[in-house]
Amino acid sequence: MLNPDTVRADFPLLGRTVRGGKPLVYLDSGATAQKPQQVIDAESAFYAQTNAAVHRGAHQIAEEATEAYESSRTVVAEFVGADVDEIVWTKNATEALNLVAYGFLNASLAAAAAPGSPAAEAVSPEARTRYALVPGDEIVVSEAEHHANLVPWQQLAAKTGATLRWIGVTAEGRLDPETYSVIGDRTRVLAITHASNVTGAITDVAALVSRARAVGAYVVLDACQTAAHMPVDLHALDVDFAAFSAHKMVGPTGVGALYGRRELLEDLPPFLTGGSMVEVVTMEATSFMPPPQRFEAGTQMVAQVVGFRAAVEYLRELGMEQVAAHEAAMTQLLLEGIAAVPGVRVLGPQDAADRLAVVAFEVDGVHPHDVGQVLDNAGVAVRVGHHCAQPIHRRLGVHASARASAGVYTTIADIEAFIEGLHEVVRFFATPETPTMQASTVESGKGRV
């Protein structure tokens, strides 16, 4: 079993204090995870010893930098159950998802152009066949998506005339199997989250993949919330594309990855163009490198890639089964603790099965911003707001929420401090009488005590 006290010692930031000397209780790993010294050192050592531009230059340092960059790809690919040439570095998961959506868009623009015209020839015939969308085609997402896996598809639909449809969410915050039937004959893309970043509910990927396969739709998986918290095997999940981000996986900011099945990346038109991703450039035309380089235009975030490798090596060392077991225990404590605070409601599944240690909640009569402020004053860091997922909040009948999310370094003491903080929130904002609303017609000021 993973010992979080030992793990914590690796994370220097967790040793600091906040708000006038209070020990930090960091329960915002769902937004971004803290970094172990091993990751900080790896990034620092790269700059101190190995920094050079990759895939260019014949000198020794360039060779070493390229080796560091490419061997990191191998390590990260293995970590998520992918082959090395199926991993594209991006600046984050948002860029990875946009990369796929823009691939579809570029193919659609070419397919809509006059046959034989430069616009039509701008992408390969295979790309047009695979990826071109036309009016009447459908893109399916879910109501639980993070904006990063919703807005790019909404935009793609608007630009191509395709229709955006969505899987609904139950009152408990899970994808509603009753609505899986929106996946139909015209579905070309199913873009779905592996786990909600609000309710923590884990998606039944197999059920959705089999429906998508039956209608020939591509499956794009947003694995941001899961990759750091449970074993993820993308080949076993049998999805076509997947996105994840280093900073949620105890790795650096500024680097994420796109997974794409090899033959699909092969046919996908480039998103960003420029240096490093080309073969022959004339004033008239350009031929592109094969994947993954085709999707890595310009100077890359090499130090961050190296840090990403250190992060997955760190997680691998802990063992993802152990990580998942530890976080399941934290989930249990969070749910039990919250249930014992009067007036606090969990937004999402109430039991710990098939969910992550990401627990959004609302405190009766207290705005999430105020909840977060009082917790912060106690040294407890949680997220407040809509967590980049407005539709699921709307579905659950709230405008915003507060959210506690655990990680590999979360301890029982962290959860206890958080629950104590929640009691303080309720005490602090307890109203002597029911809150009243008064219209402007009421005489100014007289309603107050």
DSSP string, 18-41: ETTTEEPEE-BTTT-----HHHHH
Q: Is 224 part of the annotated catalytic residue set?
A: no
Pick the closer one to other proteins by CB: 282 or 434. 434
What minimum distance in Å lies between the beta carbon of 430 and other proteins?
Answer: 11
What minimum distance in Å lies between the beta carbon of 440 and other proteins?
Answer: 4
At 374 the three-state DSSP class reads helix
Residues 11-40 that bind other proteins (CB under 8 A): 19-20
Residues 347-366 that bind other proteins (CB under 8 A): 366
The residues near 60 (Cβ < 8 Å, ≥ 6 apart) are none
Binding window for other proteins (CB under 8 A); candidates: 134-142, 207-215, 355-363, 368-376 = 368-376
Q: Look at the alpha carbons of 307, 313, 316, 318 in this order and tell me if their dihedral is positive or negative.
A: negative
**Residue 286 is inside which H or E element, if any?**
strand 286-288
Pick the closer one to other proteins by CB: 73 or 395. 395
Pick the closer one to other proteins by CB: 282 or 431. 431
- Each as own residue / partner, the long-range contacts of residues 314-320 (CB below 8 Å, 24 or more positions apart, any chain) are 314/10, 314/36, 314/38, 314/39, 314/250, 315/79, 315/228, 315/249, 315/250, 315/408, 316/79, 318/2, 318/7, 318/408, 319/2, 320/230, 320/231, 320/232
Binding window for other proteins (CB under 8 A); candidates: 206-214, 238-246, 279-287, 381-389 = 381-389
One of 13, 236, 339, 442 touching other proteins (CB under 8 A) = 442
What minimum distance in Å lies between the beta carbon of 377 and other proteins?
Answer: 5
One of 21, 116, 216, 435 touching other proteins (CB under 8 A) = 435
Binding status of residue 399 toward other proteins by CB under 8 A:
yes
Pick the closer one to other proteins by CB: 185 or 433. 433
Binding status of residue 436 toward other proteins by CB under 8 A:
yes
220, 242 in Cβ contact below 8 A?
Answer: yes
Pick the closer one to other proteins by CB: 316 or 399. 399
The CA-based diameter of the chain, rounded to the nearest angstrom, is 80
Q: Look at the alpha carbons of 242, 151, 170, 340 in this order and tell me if their dihedral is positive or negative.
A: positive
Q: Among residues 120, 151, 388, 400, which one is catalytic? A: 388
The residues near 438 (Cβ < 8 Å, ≥ 6 apart) are 447
Supply the residues annotated as catalytic. 388
List contacts with other proteins (CB under 8 A): 19-20, 366-370, 373-374, 377-378, 384-386, 390, 393, 399-400, 424, 428-429, 431, 435-442, 444-445, 447-449
